[in-house]
Structure 1
Amino acid sequence: MTQSTNITWHETTITKNDRRSQNGHGSCTLWFTGLSGSGKSTIANAVSNELFRLGINEYVLDGDNIRHGLNKDLGFSEHDRTENIRRIGEVAKLFVDSGKVITTAFISPFRSDRDQVRELFEEGEFIEVFVDCPIEVCEQRDPKQLYAKARRGEIKDFTGIDSPYEAPEKPEITLRSDLLSVEEAVGQVIAYLREKNIF
């Protein structure tokens, strides 16, 4: 794909800090990563609900939902997974610029892809949340029967089975979802945001 050279970045009058000031809180991306079945979407949505209850401007970007629209042209090859994450990173950056606290739930299996997304943000705006759960537990949960299909060879390049998952080395938050309740996990995330003066 050839990139156009006839484009110029247009600065807007209202800045990110203006929006944060009007909202009365900071903005950031909570990037939930982990295996399928680890609880990413469940916890991300629960965090978003709590933020909403607290009066924080929030939004959830969920992996499956994004693949129904923005990224419906992408498959699950390594190249397509990288492009999937790149696009989501750019969208998340726009939401942070709009003054919102974004929760994202994506397997995002490759460390280099997550690091590239981190580089899009200013210091403190990208918060990597590792939803750490043993694959055995994820397989037992298997709400969509994806592991079972992957074991039967019906799904190729499935993370954790025949495609690798590279766990974060230094995530801002680690949640052992096999040991924590959803409420406890939410409490840890909210405590972190308060500690960092996001709100």
Structure 2
Amino acid sequence: MNKNKQTPRLVWFTGLSGAGKTTLANALHKKLSEQGFSSYVLDGDNIRCGINRDLSFSPQDRSENIRRVIEIASLFLDAGIIVITAFISPYEKDRQKAKNKIGKANFIEVYLSTPLDVCESRDVKNLYKKARSGEITDFTGINAPYEVPISADIKIDTSNLSIEKSVDKILKRVFK
């Protein structure tokens, strides 16, 4: 517990594009705010358009993207904020670096195990279609790997669980 009267934690959403990471991150943030908690969402839109705009989607740059996210999240945690991240973060080693830096007690990995066909059906930017046609290379789940978490704290298939029930499941784990 800190001066904000909350325990700062890092809730790390991982999964394929279209799995629902940003949707759940924003819903969790809203619910935490309603309950009087101070939280912040870091996702590809607010990170890749600014501090990480110099990075590509190569394996090396993906790792660097996550390394920077870990450092930013750590700063927020030091300030007593609950941090919610929504990144594909395809490599187990990168997610493990986050867990090691933050500490197991304050790192909650949420794996969105939503099936690929469901993720593709949600693709409003046609990224999967472009990846399948070869227009996009290094697209996770199509022509770049996604390493399923070895020991995620929470596993959710957003094709089977509503946003509200998913957030409730996370809240029960984060604030048990």
TM-score by length of 2: 0.97
Return the offset for 1:89. Answer: 0.5
Tell whether 2:151 aligns with 1:173: no
Tell whether 2:162 aligns with 1:193: no
Tell whether 2:62 aligns with 1:81: yes
Match of 1:32 among 1, 10, 13: 13
Return the offset for 1:175. Answer: 1.0
The superposition leaves residues 83-115 of structure 1 with CA deviations (integer Å, 9 ceiling, x where unpaired) of 000000011111111101111000000001111
User: Corresponding residue for 1:46?
Assistant: 27
- Distance (Å, rounded) in 1 between the aligned partners of 2:2 and 2:53: 36
Return the offset for 1:122. Answer: 2.5
Match of 2:72 among 80, 91, 102: 91
Pairs within 5 Å for 1:153-168: 153-168=134-149
User: Corresponding residue for 2:99?
Assistant: 118
Q: Which has the larger radius of gyration?
A: 1
- Distance (Å, rounded) in 1 between the aligned partners of 2:174 and 2:65: 27
The superposition leaves residues 49-85 of structure 1 with CA deviations (integer Å, 9 ceiling, x where unpaired) of 0000100010000112200001000000000000000
Return the offset for 1:123. Answer: 3.2
Match of 1:137 among 100, 114, 118: 118
**Equivalent pair of 2:108/2:174 in contact (CA under 8 Å):** no
Tell whether 2:109 aligns with 1:128: yes
Return the offset for 1:151. Answer: 1.0
Which has the larger displacement, 164-173 or 116-125? 116-125
Across the aligned residues of Structure 1 and Structure 2, the Cα RMSD in angstroms comes to 0.9
- Distance (Å, rounded) in 1 between the aligned partners of 2:109 and 2:140: 19
User: Corresponding residue for 1:104?
Assistant: 85
- Distance (Å, rounded) in 1 between the aligned partners of 2:136 and 2:27: 29
- Distance (Å, rounded) in 2 between the aligned partners of 1:113 and 1:23: 29
Instruction: Tell me the secondary structure at the aligned position of residue 143 of structure 1.
Output: coil
Return the offset for 1:143. Answer: 2.1
Instruction: Tell me the secondary structure at the aligned position of residue 142 of structure 1.
Output: coil
Identity of aligned residues (%): 48
- Distance (Å, rounded) in 1 between the aligned partners of 2:22 and 2:104: 25
Moved over 3 A (4+): none
Instruction: Tell me the secondary structure at the aligned position of residue 127 of structure 1.
Output: strand
Instruction: Tell me the secondary structure at the aligned position of residue 56 of structure 1.
Output: coil
